[in-house]
Amino acid sequence: MKLAILPLNAHGPWGGSEILWSSLARYWHSQGHVGAIGIKDWQPMPKPILSLEEAGIPLKRYGQSSLLARIAAKIKRRAGLPTPLHPLEESLRETAPDLMVFSADCMGGMPGMQLAAKLGIPYAFIMQANSESWWPFDPGRP
């Protein structure tokens, strides 16, 4: 089974949710499942994440888009042209995992769910750092 993990945390490289998804990655890898982790290219990359790579679990790193790339994407969206929802969208389309797992806070998982829907890939969502104070008001809910 091909599995992909996509942590969507943008606030820091390591915390409680990272312990969850990295443990999941290690378990899947020990069971012989092919998988990859799509991870923001944190500088420096936390040692526990690097240890996953050392164990043979592929890390697909992505960085912050350049200002020019963000402007081009905005122009494409306004023109109604297709734009990627995530920097790893094309890579995920090519590898076609059987399941994607996202890890994010209460609203941070929405881009991952939209990406999975666009690519037609089943997904699971690990939600952490969920506080009622962060929930959107009724008009802002999808």
Q: pLDDT above 90 covers what percent of the chain? A: 50
| pLDDT band of 140, cuts 50, 70, 90 | low
Any bridge partners for residue 6, and if so which? 102
pTM over 0.85: no
What domains lie within the chain, and their CATH numbers? 2-140 (3.40.50.2000)
pLDDT tops 90 at residue 68: no
| pLDDT band of 142, cuts 50, 70, 90 | low
pLDDT in tens, 93-126: 999 999 999 988 766 788 888 999 999 999 998 8
| CA count, 13 A, side-chain hemisphere, 139 | 0
- In this prediction, residues 41-64 reach a mean pLDDT of 93
DSSP output for 60-90: EEE-PPPHHHHHHHHHHHHTT----SSTTHH
DSSP output for 90-101: HHHHHH--SEEE
Characterize the bridge pairing of strands 2-7 and 59-62: unpaired
